[in-house]
């Protein structure tokens, strides 16, 4: 039996997903344990129902992120915060000490070579503060690091799956 695995990229740099890919050939071992049902690494648009494990990279920056995360929580048995942005806010939360208008002025007017303006459409409204995942939904497990080492990601996944797939340690050497 394979578990249904999803990975999600909110407001992060994608480094946590790159760390996952750094498992290289060991991904083949993990592929024996899971079906990837949603991820930026595959072309599936809608987050599905009944996902066993979801790893979420990045912090919550917009109301859209928060709504997306709540939907993911509803559809996921084990939700994992992947990396320091998801766990603490980390890099995206560097804007938190500043007023939003200050942030916009700095990003769109003061730091650009060409005359510009603050966009007022097609940009999801920012929350007043960037939030870690657990400030919005219940999180079941945390994998720290910026990014987390690939071995830590594999170990966390293996141990979570071990509760759902009895022979998991016979398939992969992670977690031994």
Among 3, 85, 153, 160, binds ligand SF4 (CB under 6 A): 85
- Indicate whether 52 belongs to the interface with ligand SF4 (CB under 6 A): no
Buried b (16+ CB within 10 A) or exposed e, 68-97: bbeebbebbebbbbbbbbbbbbbbbbebee
Write out the DSSP string of 96-124.
TTS-HHHHHHIIIIIT-SS------SSSP
> Mask 112-151, x = binds ligand SF4 (CB under 6 A)?
----------------------------------xx----
Beta carbon nearer to ligand SF4, 52 or 84? 84
Among 3, 5, 8, 16, binds ligand SF4 (CB under 6 A): 16
Q: Judged by CB under 6 A, does residue 90 bind ligand SF4? A: yes
* Largest pairwise CA distance in the chain: 61
Q: How far apart are CA 152 and CA 128, in angstroms?
A: 32
If the CB atoms of residues 83 and 132 are measured against ligand SF4, the closer one turns out to be 83
Interface residues toward ligand SF4, by CB under 6 A: 12-13, 15-16, 57-58, 83-85, 90-91, 146-147
């Amino acid at each position: 039996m394979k578990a249904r695995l999803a990975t999600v990229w909110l407001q992060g740099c994608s480094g946590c997903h790159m760390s996952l890919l750094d498992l290289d050939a060991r991904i083949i071992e993990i592929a024996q344990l899971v079906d990837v049902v949603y991820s930026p690494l595959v072309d599936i648009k809608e987050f599905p129902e009944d996902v066993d494990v979801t790893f979420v990279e990045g912090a919550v920056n917009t109301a859209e992120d928060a709504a997306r995360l709540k939907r993911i929580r509803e559809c996921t048995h084990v939700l994992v915060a992947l990396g320091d942005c998801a766990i603490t806010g980390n890099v995206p939360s560097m804007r938190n000490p500043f007023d939003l208008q200050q942030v916009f002025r700095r990003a769109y007017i003061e730091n650009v070579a060409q005359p510009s303006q603050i966009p007022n459409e097609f940009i999801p409204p920012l929350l007043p503060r960037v939030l870690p995942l657990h400030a919005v939904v219940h999180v079941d497990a945390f994998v720290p690091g910026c990014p987390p080492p690939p071995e830590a990601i594999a170990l966390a996944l293996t141990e979570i799956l071990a509760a759902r797939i009895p022979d998991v340690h016979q398939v992969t050497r992670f977690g031994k």
